[in-house]
Amino acid sequence: MFDCVEAKENEWRKKKCPVNFAQSNCDRKCQECEGAWNCGDLTKASEDIIKHLDTNGDKKISMTDNIDKSHLAIVTEICDYTNDKEVTPCEIFDCLVKVENMWRDKFCPEGY
C-alpha cells in the first residue's frame, strides 16, 4: 500500500472502522504521479460512494438498499472482504486503495 494512503487510512479507520480492521504506522509521503489520487481523494470517494449507494442510511451497502441488484453484485464481488453480502465504508476504502494501487502499478512506473 503506498505510504500516504497508509497514514490517511489509519486516521480514517480510527474514526470509521470496527476494531477488527488492522492499522499500521507510517509517516512517509507518497511521490506525485500525474492522474493519481491522493489521500484526500480516496477518503472523499469512499464517503461519496457510501452516501450514493447506502439508500437506507444504515452505513453499509446491502440488499436492503434501493440499488440495482446487478450493481450490488459487482460491488460485493469486488469489495466485500468479509463475505457477508454487505459492504461497509471500511471495505469501500480498502477496495479503492486496491484499485488505486493497481492504477499506480500500471501508470506510475517510476514508483510511488
Instruction: Record the cell numbers describing residue 81, joined without a space.
Output: 472482504
pLDDT on residue 49 = 92
Q: Contact, 60 vs 86, CB < 8 A?
A: yes
What predicted TM-score, i.e. pTM, was given to this entire model? Answer: 0.68
Q: Largest Cα–Cα distance of the chain, in whole Å?
A: 44
Question: Which residues sit opposite 61 in a β-bridge?
Answer: 87
CA distances to 26, 36, 39, 43, 111 from 105, rounded to whole Å, are: 20, 11, 17, 20, 8
Place of cell 497508509: 6
Q: At what angle do helices 39-53 and 3-16 cross, to 10 degrees?
A: 40
Residue 30's closest CA among 57, 62, 6, 49? 6
Spell out, as residue ranges, where the chain has pLDDT lower than 50: 1, 19-29
